Structure 1
Amino acid sequence: MSLLERVTVNPLQCGGRPCLRGMRIRVSDVLDLLGAGVSIETVLEDYPDLEREDIYAALLWAARYIDHPRLSA
């Protein structure tokens, strides 16, 4: 499984927001924790269903998302 395949979007789950591996753990939740200075190790302890690769996937997804050009009308 590639890192980006770990990010799933289901319109019936979490309002269609990107989650990790079909779980109800949103990419944005992981990014918020990391942005607040919480270590990867602590995130993994707090969310035992997460794997280290899930955190890397969230970071990669965010990097790709913000680098996507947006057109304004």
Structure 2
Amino acid sequence: MTKSNPLFSRITIDTKVMLGKPTIRGMRITVEQILKSLSAGISQQDLLDEYPELEAEDFQAVFAYVAALVEEEQVFPIQVSA
């Protein structure tokens, strides 16, 4: 993943925090947690209200981080013998 996007500095990975899962600025709020909440219909504003330490730019960072992961994804066809 290219680190050229300045938003990526908001996503941190530390084996001592949340078992090394990507988190927001080293806090105990994971990228996964944000994505699951948003996909469950919880709004960004609700998350900002619930976690006042979050900033609007953190959501942009999550989206940029995940977009970069998907961009790097490679799919290899597997041939199945009958």
Residue 71 of structure 1, CA deviation: 6.6
| 1:32 lines up with 2:52 in the alignment | no
How far, CA to CA, are the matches of 2:73 and 2:42 in structure 1? 30
Matched, 1:56 2:56: no
Aligned length: 72
Residue in 1 that maps onto 2:80: none
State the partner residue of 1:12. 16
**Which consecutive segments of 4 or more residues in structure 1 shift more than 6 A?**
none
For structure 2, the residue ranges without an aligned partner over 5 or more in a row are: 1-5, 77-82
Letter in 1 for 2:43: S
CA–CA separation in structure 2 for the residues paired with 1:22 and 1:40: 19
Structure 1 or 2, whichever has the larger Rg, is: 2
How many percent identity over aligned positions? 35
Q: TM-score, normalised by structure 2?
A: 0.79
Letter in 1 for 2:72: H
Q: Secondary structure at the match of 1:45?
A: helix
TM-score by length of 1: 0.88
Alpha-carbon distance in structure 2 between the residues aligned to 1:35 and 1:10: 25
Long gaps (5+) in structure 1: none
Q: Confirm whether residue 46 of structure 1 aligns to residue 47 of structure 2.
A: no
